[in-house]
Amino acid sequence: MAWVQVYDGADDYALFDSTIVNSGAFTYVIKFKFDTVAVDNFVMGATSSTGNWIGWFNGNFTIRISGGSFNLPNAPVADVWYTLTLDRTAANAVTISEPLLGSVSGSRSGNVIFNQFGRFSTSATLIFDGQLEYATLTSPESNNNWDATASSHAAGTPILTDTISGNNATGVNMATGGTVANGGVWLDLGGGGISVTANYYQILMAETKMQKNIASQKFIVFAFDTTTNLPILGDAANITATISKDFAAGSSTNDVNPTETQEGFYAFDALQAETNANNIQIFPSSVTANIQVISVPGLITTTPVNFGDDIIQTADNDVKISALNDFDPSTDTVANVTLVATTTTNTDMKGTDGANTVVPPSVAQFNARSIVSADYFLVTDYTAPDNVSITSILADTNELQLNQGDWLTATGFSTLVATDIITGGAITTSGGVASVDIKKVNAVTIIGAGTSGDLWRA
């Protein structure tokens, strides 16, 4: 059985026993509905601050924290239950989402202050006209659960009980007649069996294991009747959803309608591309009256595919690292890579950074001795050979080689000794003139002497 607290839109609000200030990470979850959608319809605020409030204002559903505003993309309508999640991480990343109203994200630092339901600051006119079922806060600084069902519904001052910390919200200007039927503010929504109110927050924050960029996975949603607060069965054909990846604008899921599993849970088949994101949000809805559908969980955080069974490595060791290696060198082959193959066969080995960048001479050029010198040598470092002179030297060398047999026998050379040519073999010089006593000329002895001169005769 679920109860709600009713605010009249005139002057009702509920004030916390103690103001809550969050300087770091926190998560608020609030379930409410508007009886009318007016410009001045505020669900939550702070008496000491105009920079922290939640409400429908100036044509937008706005969440303002620490002086910064975030507007959800869709407008609320009357008599529809909404469950808003307001989350900030330790790094000041803000995510605000509601299955029907959409989502928005950004960043905001500073203190976030709340201490009342149903009013903006201390205004007498910016008041909540609607119903509040519960609100929860989870943070390192404070944990709270204001639950209308767990509160006392007897006549007297209405108090919205905080079942965790005892920081109750006491009604101000509210009727004291107990239940609405008796002129009070407590309304019994009826119903029995599974209590969605008691399990809603746990369902919304449930863990879903999903691997990034992998096919054949499921998006899970939960549907329930807002009038009975019971899970709804047989509504698959009326349920559709949009998907937002990494907080981008949403689009319809590929699987138009989910498959019913049981007890109000339904599953959409996820395309591989739909899982290719670090953060995924599913926003389901039903066209059936009084049926609300929520994603399980509200935010899906994926893990890389190599994290087997979603177990994140917590220590570096060979066993865990080797488990990630599925290459078997004894049976697996490395796919051919063109650049590696080219380098391996030395078909593209050109120098760089000032070295020779011309294709090396081919084997045929080496064999034919036809390498073009200008392609491989600098002109200033190279002088072409004197081929004419080389040819002449080669001819002389060949002639010497050819006649070397005659050298050994002195063929063609004179075999006379010096004493056969000159007397005593003496040759003297004086003033550059050689004086030689000739004995023979062409092997003929010179004989005869006289003052008038010598005569040759045979």
CB atoms within 10 A of CB 246: 11
How far apart CA 59 and CA 42 sit, in angstroms, is: 13
Say what the pTM is: 0.47
Radius of gyration for the chain, computed over Cα atoms and rounded to the nearest angstrom: 53
Which of 286, 150, 293 shows the shortest CA–CA distance to 224?
293
Peptide bond into 297 cis (omega under 30): yes
Instruction: For domain 200-301, say whether CATH 2.60.40 is its number.
Output: yes
Flag whether pLDDT at 317 surpasses 60: no
The CATH classification number of 2-190 equals 2.60.120.200
Q: Which DSSP string do the residues of 334-350 spell out, in sequence order?
A: PPP-HHHHHHHTTSS--
CB atoms within 10 A of CB 454: 11
Please check whether residue 126 is in contact with residue 146, taking contact to mean a CB–CB distance below 8 angstroms: no
156-166 pLDDT per residue, tens = 999 999 999 99
Tokens matching residue 171: 């009604």
Model confidence band, residue 303 (pLDDT cutoffs 50, 70, 90): confident
pLDDT at site 310: 47
Flag whether pLDDT at 332 surpasses 70: yes
Tokens matching residue 134: 């519960």
Q: What is the mean pLDDT of residues 358-376?
A: 71
pLDDT at site 193: 43
Tokens matching residue 419: 């004493």
Please check whether residue 54 is in contact with residue 151, taking contact to mean a CB–CB distance below 8 angstroms: no
Sort residue 265 into left (φ over 0), alpha (ψ -120 to 50) or beta: beta
Lowest mean pLDDT among 3-17, 280-294, 379-393, 433-447: 433-447
- 103-107, 205-209, 392-396: range with highest mean pLDDT: 103-107
Q: For 247-339, where are the E strands, in sequence order?
A: 251-252, 259-260, 265-270, 279-286, 291-296, 300-301
Residue whose entry in the numeric block shows the structure tokens 């080496």: 366
pLDDT at site 368: 74
Residue whose entry in the numeric block shows the structure tokens 């960043």: 107
DSSP bridge partners of 268: 219
The pLDDT mean for the chain works out to 81
Tokens matching residue 204: 């919304």
Flag whether pLDDT at 185 surpasses 50: yes
How far apart CA 208 and CA 206 sit, in angstroms, is: 7
Residue whose entry in the numeric block shows the structure tokens 């339904």: 266
How far apart CA 295 and CA 299 sit, in angstroms, is: 8
Residue type, 233: L
Q: What is the mean pLDDT of residues 310-322?
A: 55
Residue whose entry in the numeric block shows the structure tokens 């399980």: 296
Residue whose entry in the numeric block shows the structure tokens 């050819």: 402
pLDDT at site 63: 96
How far apart CA 140 and CA 104 sit, in angstroms, is: 24
Residue whose entry in the numeric block shows the structure tokens 């509200």: 298
11-64 pLDDT per residue, tens = 999 999 999 999 999 999 999 999 988 778 999 999 998 999 999 988 899 999
- Residues ≥6 apart with Cβ < 8 Å to 455: 448
**Where do the domains of the chain lie?**
2-190, 200-301, 416-458
How far apart CA 211 and CA 88 sit, in angstroms, is: 24
Helix/strand/coil for 247: coil
Flag whether pLDDT at 255 surpasses 60: yes
Lowest mean pLDDT among 172-186, 394-408, 439-453: 439-453
Model confidence band, residue 195 (pLDDT cutoffs 50, 70, 90): very low
pLDDT at site 389: 87
pLDDT at site 401: 76
Tokens matching residue 405: 């047999």
Q: What is the helix, strand, coil percentage profile of the chain, to 5?
A: 15, 40, 45
